[in-house]
A and B are shown apart, each in its own frame.
Chain A
């Protein structure tokens, strides 16, 4: 089974702190994604990556950056956390190729609270 692991299930940080959210997948998937989920707003795409060292902005990249130094790891960085970044963050991965359905495999989520 594909496993997408997010390093922290729950984090509490203070305004202005630098926050790292780590995600690792074990199925050699090319594509990796970071979403945030908020009540009534559904899933919103922050950043995604199609390959090592590549990144693409999603719908709401402001206030975030990402790093993909290895194929299996995709990190989301909040340079200076703010209270409006309190949210559930979901990492996902998917394979790339003919015959693939485009299905996303999700991690369990990281719930971040910024005080």
Chain B
């Protein structure tokens, strides 16, 4: 079945770039997503990428997709303390509910 893997923790200094990585197994995924969960809140969609794209940039966020290796990454430039949160990768193959990774907790050190 589908599976999404991501590391559980990442710690960076304020102002540095953060890179959160994700691997997925379903090669038929149409969309891949990054969700952000702030403390005590639900998940909010941060960005998504369609499977026929290699890269998507949105202000400080850059998403890279390597379909051959089934690898997705989220880069946050100039990381701020407000970026501290849990980031979830998710895939959508179109036939089943989204499959989520376990989430990466990003800690930003001032």
Name A's B-contacting residues (CB within 8 A): 4, 31, 33, 40-43, 45, 48, 58, 90, 92, 101-109
A-B contact pairs, 20 of them (CB 8 A): A40-B102, A41-B102, A42-B101, A42-B102, A43-B43, A43-B88, A43-B100, A90-B42, A90-B43, A92-B43, A102-B94, A103-B45, A104-B43, A104-B45, A104-B90, A106-B43, A107-B42, A108-B40, A108-B41, A108-B42
* Whole-angstrom distance between the Cβ of A30 and the nearest chain B Cβ: 13
B24 at the interface (CB under 8 A from A): no
- How many cross-chain pairs have Cβ atoms below 8 Å apart between A and B? 50
Task: Return chain B residues, CB-CB under 8 Å to A42.
Answer: 88, 100-103
| C-alpha gap A102/B92 in the complex (Å) | 7
* Whole-angstrom distance between the Cβ of B26 and the nearest chain A Cβ: 13
